[in-house]
Every structure is written in structure tokens, then in C-alpha cells.
Structure 1
Amino acid sequence: MPLTPAELADRLGRWSSGRGPLHLLLAARLRRLVDEGELPPGAALPPDRALAAALAVGRGTVVAAYEHLRVEGRIVRRQGSGTRVAGPARPGPRETTGAPVFLHLLEPDDDVIQLACAAPVAPPPVLLAAYQRALPHLATVTDDIGYRPTGHPRLRRAVAEYYARRGLPTEPEQIVITNGGQQALSLLARAFVEPGGRVLVEAPTYPGALEAFGEQAAHVRALPIGLDGFESAVAAPARRPDLAYLVSTHHNPTGAVLPPLVRRRLARAAAAADVPLVDDEVLAHLTFPGQETPPPLAAYAETGTGIVTVGSLSKSVWGGLRIGWIRAARPVVDRLARLRAVHDLGGNVPAQLAAAELLPDLEEHCARLAAERRDRHDHLRAELARLLPGWRVPPATGGQTLWVRLPHGDGDSFAQVALRHGVAVVPGAGLDASGGSRRQLRLHSFAPTDVLTEAVRRLAAAWRVYGGDGDDGDDAPSPRALAV
């Protein structure tokens, strides 16, 4: 199946963040994709105009970039049959869903201010102290080969106690430790979603979840935030989903928090329909001062067997720690452990011992940083209101992101223009399985206030250039001149 312009734009990533004419930057990135096999021989490339629209550049930029690659012998262009990567087509591995924002968010920052991937940028002192406290435990390990698919007992116990403090009684046997929240979602997709199965998600939602469920070639159906309409969506047995997924606390990207009555209704509906409901609580720790958040959704279930809760330390402590977990019924934990053993046998034991030292004080650690997170959220909103008053920027009560609505245009094309002005943002369409949110952007507020000020200044400059059509031009020479 040929790549759509949006899919190729996703693979190009931050192609325009370097120095030099746009057509040369585009040609360089396409060349790399071809040489590394990301664009295999025979792959069809989008037409000039369509790709130009997706990248928010003039058609001449794409024509010139394609011409560079044609002269080099990397692509073939024929009237009537379009543009293809040179060489005979060959079968390759099944593609992932290619969540539009997922991989290139992790690229080095270079000169770009990163308002796309929200996470702490350095390990905090409490993590270093936790490792120091964990070393004596590691030194006493004997008769233990270290392969623990369900996780180290000390950390499983610490996670269970953490949930008990939050009003959700939990046994250590209900916990499986994972290498971060993303692995947790991938394991759940493999455990519950049949090839070609159905998954219910919110629109918009966390793009990593769309990627994880799409790996199973699932049909993803989007419902409004809070899974409004869940009961009717599972009413017909023939259309019963394999899994439903939501972010109940500090929703990614809107920051919304589901009230207790909605949590209770969803828990009852999931139990009645016998549909596993995954509650992603990775952001639940990031509440602003003075705000109250309800207990985990599983606390509202009568038996708790049908609700699966996902947690992680990536956003509250540091992504490099790679510690996440799943809370579920014991039969589900046993099933997940078998799947986990097939892939990596278990996680990093020293990191798990350090995490076990962190968990008892996690709430206190997050509370110490809550005022700073709120101040940065408020500062970003104030700067956007000052320099971009036409943008609609609702406040949040916690979390890490703002969900911005543009007054016109679309997020995909504006994100390309913003990148050329030195700031990376996430267009909303990549977070919305329904095909909506095209005029939305996701911005994060983790950065220091001076960085946020500069980021908004660059966004304002990009918006002035963007106008209504998103084309800021390119002085690329003509294809005829390139061929000489």
C-alpha cells in the first residue's frame, strides 16, 4: 500500500530543523530513509502537491527534492506512474501503525525547543538517593539468577502498598512490573487483542496507546473523552471490543479528570459487558496544588477483576528509570508474566530495587514539585494569551500538557512551519483515531519559564508566517537547473 502524504511526513520527523534551503533538507532526509531501508525499493512516494501540502511547503520544494534524488538514482519518476524508490519492489515486514508523533519525538533536540515530548529532563536527587539505599539490598542477593517476569518482590509489594494508600486494596500478586508504561500497554495488547480485533479508545488520546494497539492490527474505535457511549458501543455481542482504554486522571492531552460518578458507571458497564477496561494512570501523580483527584478507577469496581490499571515513574520521576507496572486480577498477571518471559525474561533488578525505595515517598516527591508544575502551566498559558490571543487554550488541573485549538488552518501543516522556526509541537490529528482534532496542538509545559517564553515567541513568529495556507515558500532552484 503506498504511503499517504501524512505517513511520509511522520517518517520524515524533524526534517526541516537543520540549516540550509528547505529542498536540500528534505532531500537529505528522504535520502536517509531510502538508504536505511525505511523507504524500500519499489515504494510509491506521494505526488508533489500532496506531499507539499502535508509538509506546509511550496510544491517547488518537493519537486526540487525529488529531482535531487532522481539524479542520484535513488528514485524513479515516470509520467502516469508517479514517483517510486528505485529498484524492484520486495516484500517486507508488516508495518506498524506509525503513530504520527511517537518515534521522532525522541530524537535529539539540536536547536529545536521541544514542546512535543513531555518528560523530566534529568534524574532528580531523590532517584540518586534511592539507588544509594538500594545498594545494600543488592549486595545481599544470593541464589537469585535475576530473571523475574513479574518483577522483584520488593517492588511488587511497594506498588501494592502505594495503591492501598490511594484507596485501592492490592496484593503484591496482582502486580506485574514492566519496563515503563509503554511496555505495559504492548503486553496488554498482546494479551487481550486478537489480530484484527476491536479496541475502544478516547478521542483524542495518548499516541503510544494507538501504536501499541495498532501493532495487533486492531480496529480502533474512538469515543469522546471518558468513553461516553461505552455502554452502547459494547451492547451488540458481535461488535464487542477486545479491550477499552482510557486515561482517567489528567488525561493526555486535555488534562481532564473523570469524576467519581463516571468512574463508577464505567466500571459497572465494563463488568456487565465483560470487556477489560485499561485505566492508564501514568499521569495520576501530577496534580496541581489545591486539587483533589479521585481514587483509581478500579476502586469503583465491585470486584475489581475487569479493570486493569497501568502506572509508571516516567513522568513523575524520570523516563530513563524505565519502571512501570500493571495492576490486574491474578489470572491476568499470570498471563502477562508468560508473555513477558517470551520477550525479555524480566526487568532491571537494580532499577526495581531503587524504585521500591522511591514508592513510599512518591506522593511527597510529587507534591514538592506540584507548585512549579502549576506555575509553568500558568506561564505558558499567559504567554500564549499575550502573543497568540486567537488561540484557545483551556486550563488544566494537573498533568503536563495543554490542548490548544487554532483559530484556522490545521495542526499538521502548522507544526511543520513551527519546526522551521525552531519549536516542535504535536499536531492533534495524530492523537485522534476518529480523524478529528485537526485544528488542535498538544504543547507541554515541563520546560523552565524562560524556555517557554522563547518557545511562544517562536510560535508567534511561525503563526505570522503561516497565515492561512501554511506555505512559507522556498527559494529552491528549478528542477531543470538541478539536472545540469
Structure 2
Amino acid sequence: MDPINVAERLGRWSAGRGALYALLAARLRCLIDDGELPAGTPLPPDRVLASTLAVGRSTVVAAYDLLQSEGRIVRRQGSGTRVAGDALTRPAETTSAPVFLDLLEPRADVIPLACAAPDAPPAELAECYARMLPELAATTGDIGYYPTGHPRLRHAVAEYYRNRGVPTSFEQILITTGGQQALSLLARCFLQPGDRVLMESPSSPPALEAFRAEAAVIQSLSPGLAGFAAAAHDHRPALAYVIPTFQNPTGSVLPPQARRRLAETAAALGIPLIEDEVLAELGFPGFSTPPPLAVHSDAVITVGSLSKTVWGGLRIGWVRAAAPTIARLARIRAVHDLGGDVPTQLAAAELLPHLAAICTRRAPERKARHDHLRAELARLLPDWHAPAVTGGQTLWIRLPYGDGTSFTQTALRHGVAILPGSGLDPTGASETHIRVHYLHPPPTLTEAARRLADAWHTYHPPPIPVPAPPALAM
């Protein structure tokens, strides 16, 4: 594809308030992810594209560097710049589209270990739908549009936080269609192109994609968040995002004292701090989960969801924040979505008081499956490093050699879908890692471990690590 065609596909774009290179990277990212610039497409040299678009060469270089760090393009001296996935780097049949489909809609012959969520609703959910039916049948004078969420569920979520020691009013709650919509709305609310976001490396793929969709620039925080104040001073972020409880993907838990320091520091610096609590209720038996960050500062913005704790098909999430922030989010949501499904929200309102009991009942089974998969991996793949966790849904595994992206493709050919670590880490420091979940029954986990072992025994890493495709698994 020649430079003029690439420039034409970029369409109209302007700097607005943000950094020009971030806008250029965002537009190229969309073209790549939408398939308009297919895998292997050569991109124009820096100077040529800069001249065509009438921008400085440094703008193009910075945009290319950002996309390369995300694994979307490959730059080689003497070979130019190409969209990741050409024949020189990986086979055509393992481009990002099939991998992504196997993450969310796996084939019958593939064991999905990438996208983690309960695969069956608990009995309580059906009972809650039955209990809300009389209220639904008696509804009159209500068109059912609630951009902020149905009042019954908003009150139930507020009560949920009050019971956990976080004073919360009805006006501080926005109901969303899952945690992913909550993150997307927050990104749209707080970010302009070129704004910086502080987040852990590695971190949640949906959060990474939500922030990148707004042309934000990711700045990485070290594990444990010890350098938060220094990073905030250096980068002056518009937003910070953390997962302090059963961090995705590592499973780590931030200690109580560190939580207090983080919340108080963010509040003192005026940095909006998002606490992702989607996994917070998933501790193993005997583990005492520290209180949420919002206990220490009412300025913390909290994201929650029922999809990871109850069932993946229950698309209920929420945001807890100051009332003015909730009002802004509701206005943004109303442009695209006048409100979620009312019967589902009514059922969720019935269910929420039983959430802790459901999680407690399921915890021993999750712990047993965690132990089973680790034992099978230790037996069949003793060179792999798969540390134990105290809750959550996933293992963060370090491979003894090679890279997670190319091994992910080998594993898929052996009937297992896993997530490469490089797609979860904007620094590129997790290339040797993969993420797998342990929510399947033990016989399925045994078979998955056997297939992974077969894949590993046939695995030959490429001479140059394979760039990761965009990773959107939860």
C-alpha cells in the first residue's frame, strides 16, 4: 500500500487539545484493529508520511513508537514499518482475528483458558428473576429509560458499599452494562487525546483498550505502586487506574497501609483514581480481603461488576463516584445508550444482598481448581513458573524461554486458547508470560494441561519475539 493510500485511509483528524502523535496513533490503531490495514501492510517511512500529512517527522516517529510498544506494528532497520502479523513474523492463519474470536466465542474443539468468568449462573439468579416478576408485571407509567440505572439497583449497590464501610448515597451510583462499559465511560469522561494514564504493568486488557480508544498515553507503575507519587509528579496524569485486590493478571493484593497511602496521595494531588473492584469478592477460604480504597478517600472512583462473581452472561456493572461525576457519566451514556435492561437490573437488585454468600459458597471450589491446575502444570511442565494466588481467577505464568505470543499460537493449534503477557503490558516487559484461568472443572483442566504440554514440546520460538495482537480478554 503506497503512502498516499495510507494517508487517505487516515481520513480527517485534528489535534484538538491533545498531543498530535497520540491522535495519529489512535487513528492508525483503529485502522489496524478494524482490518483496513491488514497484517503485513507496509506503512510509509517516517518522512514520507510526515510530508503527506503536513506534520513534523517527530510526530510520526512518536506515533509509530507507541504502536510498536503495543505490538500493532513491527519496525526493522532495512525492512521498513509494517502492520504486525506479516509472513516474516508469524503464519497467516494465526492473526489477531481468529485469536480474539477464540477468546470470547471459542470453537468446540478449543478449551478456553483466556477469558475468565463463571460459565453457569447460580441457582439464586433464576430465583431472583422469579421474585422480580410480580414487580415487573405491575409496572405502569414507566417507559424504562434509566441512563443512570434503575433506582432499585442503584439503592442496592449503595447499600452494598455502606455494608462494607464506605458511606455511599444513591446519587453516587451509576449502573452500567458490565464493568467494560464502566471503564469506557470513565475514559470518555476524563481523557483527551494525549492525556496520560498511570496504571500497573501488566494490567487488565479491557482497561488498556478503553484508555487507548481515547488516544491516551499509558504510563506504567511498578508492582506494589510504591512509585505512585513520583510517577504522578513526573507525568502529570489525567487519570490513574489500579486493581488493588487480586490484580489482573498477577493476582497480587495491595496491603492495607499501601492502600491508604495510594488513596490519600491521589486525593492530595487531585488525580482521579479508579479502583477496579471487579474481582474483589473472589478471595479463597480463609483469606481476609482488605477494605476498598474508597474507605480512605471519597475521591476514589470505584468500578464493580457481577459478571466475574456471578455469571459472565449477567451484564451488570457500576461506578461509584462523586455525584457530579455520576451526572457527567450519565450524560455521556445517554448519547449512546438510554439505559440497561430493566428486568435484569431488577433481578440484580434482588441478588446483590446474597452476593457475599454466593462467593463464599463458590470459594472452596475455585481454590480446589486453582490447586488442581497448578499441580498438573507442575507435573507436566515443571520448568514453568506458576505462582499460587490467594484469590481471583487466573494464573500468571512465566515461560522458561521463548515468548508468550508465539507460544499462544502454538497452544491454539493444540486446542487451547490462552492470553499472551505482552498484550497486557505496555512496557513490553511481560513477553515471557502467559495468563490462564482455572475456572473449568478438574477433568477439563487436566486435559488443558496435557494439551499445553504437547504444545510446549513442539514449540520452537521465533528468532525475534512475535508482536502481540490486541488483547481484549477479561
1:214 correspondence with 2:212: yes
Q: Deviations over 1:234-276 (max 9, x none)?
A: 225xx31110001111111111111110110001110111000
Match 1:449 to one of 442, 453, 456? 442
Match of 1:293 in 2: 289
Match of 1:129 in 2: 127
1:41: how far off?
Answer: 8.7
Give the whole-Å Cα distance in 2 for the aligned partners of 1:398 and 1:210.
22
Q: Deviations over 1:267-305 (max 9, x none)?
A: 11101110000000001111100000011111122xx1x
Give the count of matched residue pairs: 396
Match of 2:276 in 1: 280
* Matched residue type, 2:431: R
Report SS of the residue matched to 1:150: coil
Give the whole-Å Cα distance in 2 for the aligned partners of 1:431 and 1:100.
18
Match of 1:158 in 2: 156
Give the whole-Å Cα distance in 2 for the aligned partners of 1:187 and 1:351.
20
Q: Deviations over 1:22-72 (max 9, x none)?
A: xxxxxxxxxxxx9x97345998268899735643x5xxxx5xx8xxxxxxx
* Structure 2 gap segments, 5+ residues each: 3-30, 43-73, 465-474
Larger radius of gyration: 1
Match of 1:51 in 2: 86
Report SS of the residue matched to 1:245: strand
Match of 1:381 in 2: 374
Report SS of the residue matched to 2:291: coil
1:425 correspondence with 2:404: no
Q: Deviations over 1:432-478 (max 9, x none)?
A: 0111100000010010100000000010111111145499xxxxxxx
Match of 1:338 in 2: 331
Give the whole-Å Cα distance in 2 for the aligned partners of 1:469 and 1:101.
18
Match of 2:472 in 1: none
Match of 1:184 in 2: 182
Match of 1:71 in 2: none
Give the whole-Å Cα distance in 1 for the aligned partners of 2:457 and 2:101.
29
Match of 1:369 in 2: 362
Match of 2:253 in 1: 257
Alignment CA distance shift 1:103-1:334 (3 Å): farther
Report SS of the residue matched to 2:86: helix
1:140: how far off?
Answer: 2.0
Report SS of the residue matched to 2:313: helix
1:343: how far off?
Answer: 1.0
1:247 correspondence with 2:243: yes
Q: Deviations over 1:308-365 (max 9, x none)?
A: 0000000111121210000001111111111111111111110000000000010001
Give the whole-Å Cα distance in 2 for the aligned partners of 1:101 and 1:262.
37
1:168: how far off?
Answer: 1.1
* Matched residue type, 1:44: T
1:38 correspondence with 2:31: no
Give the whole-Å Cα distance in 1 for the aligned partners of 2:89 and 2:167.
49
Give the whole-Å Cα distance in 1 for the aligned partners of 2:34 and 2:303.
35
Match of 2:432 in 1: 439
Alignment CA distance shift 1:369-1:53 (3 Å): farther
1:122: how far off?
Answer: 2.2
Match 1:105 to one of 103, 106, 109? 103
Alignment CA distance shift 1:411-1:53 (3 Å): farther
Report SS of the residue matched to 1:404: strand
Q: Extract structure 1 runs of 4+ deviating beyond 4 A.
A: 40-43, 45-50, 98-104, 467-471
* Structure 1 gap segments, 5+ residues each: 3-33, 66-97, 472-484
Q: Map 1:42-81; keep pairs closer than 5 Å.
A: 44=41, 51-52=86-87, 54-55=89-90
Report SS of the residue matched to 2:395: strand
Equivalent residues of 2:186, 2:329 under 8 A apart: yes
Equivalent residues of 1:53, 1:413 under 8 A apart: no
Equivalent residues of 2:40, 2:86 under 8 A apart: no
- TM-score, normalised to structure 2, is 0.79
Equivalent residues of 1:99, 1:208 under 8 A apart: no
Equivalent residues of 1:151, 1:347 under 8 A apart: yes
Equivalent residues of 1:244, 1:278 under 8 A apart: yes
Give the whole-Å Cα distance in 1 for the aligned partners of 2:315 and 2:39.
38
Q: Deviations over 1:139-158 (max 9, x none)?
A: 22121111111111110111
Alignment CA distance shift 1:358-1:265 (3 Å): same
Equivalent residues of 2:406, 2:461 under 8 A apart: no
1:270 correspondence with 2:263: no
Equivalent residues of 2:102, 2:417 under 8 A apart: no
Q: Percent identity?
A: 61
Give the whole-Å Cα distance in 2 for the aligned partners of 1:298 and 1:103.
36
Match of 1:30 in 2: none
Match of 2:468 in 1: none
Equivalent residues of 1:234, 1:241 under 8 A apart: yes
Give the whole-Å Cα distance in 1 for the aligned partners of 2:165 and 2:456.
46
Q: Deviations over 1:135-186 (max 9, x none)?
A: 1111221211111111111101111111111111211111000000000000
1:120: how far off?
Answer: 1.4
Alignment CA distance shift 1:101-1:342 (3 Å): farther
Report SS of the residue matched to 1:145: coil
Give the whole-Å Cα distance in 1 for the aligned partners of 2:425 and 2:39.
30
Give the whole-Å Cα distance in 1 for the aligned partners of 2:309 and 2:392.
10
Give the whole-Å Cα distance in 1 for the aligned partners of 2:342 and 2:412.
39
1:407 correspondence with 2:400: yes
Give the whole-Å Cα distance in 2 for the aligned partners of 1:216 and 1:365.
36
Give the whole-Å Cα distance in 1 for the aligned partners of 2:168 and 2:134.
27
Give the whole-Å Cα distance in 2 for the aligned partners of 1:279 and 1:108.
30
Alignment CA distance shift 1:256-1:53 (3 Å): farther
1:199 correspondence with 2:197: yes
Equivalent residues of 1:156, 1:175 under 8 A apart: yes
1:308 correspondence with 2:286: no
Match of 1:235 in 2: 233
Give the whole-Å Cα distance in 1 for the aligned partners of 2:89 and 2:206.
22
Give the whole-Å Cα distance in 2 for the aligned partners of 1:418 and 1:406.
13
Cα RMSD over matched residues? 2.7
Match of 1:138 in 2: 136
